Amino acid sequence: MPIPNFDKGSLKSLVERIERLEEEKKAISEDIKEIFTEAKGNGYDVKIMRKIIAMRRQDEGKRREEAELVDLYLSALGDE
């Protein structure tokens, strides 16, 4: 397989930037985990908190549509 011609300095820079961001991502994930541990210690239901956070990421229309579908499915199953 022929070796492509590329700028080794540019490649190294890109790889190092990604590695730094991966380290930052790991640190942030650890911080988030600590906050959830704190929340659990304060009596909050972490599963519900995660669900709320996911819902808040959605736009209002998408969130409403999903809630309506959940209600519809529960009703169809006789669980409402």
DSSP string, 21-64: HHHHHHHHHHHHHHHHHHHHHTT--HHHHHHHHHHHHS-HHHHH
pLDDT tens digits, 8-60: 999 999 999 999 999 999 999 999 999 999 999 999 999 999 999 999 999 99
Q: What is residue 80's predicted lDDT score, i.e. its pLDDT?
A: 64
Domains in the chain: boundaries: 8-76
What global pTM score does this model have? 0.71
Residue type, 68: E
Residue with tokens 């999903």: 66
Helices (H) and strands (E) in the chain, counts: 3, 0
pLDDT at residue 3, rounded to an integer? 73
Residue that has been written with the tokens 């199953």 in this structure? 77
pLDDT at 5: 81
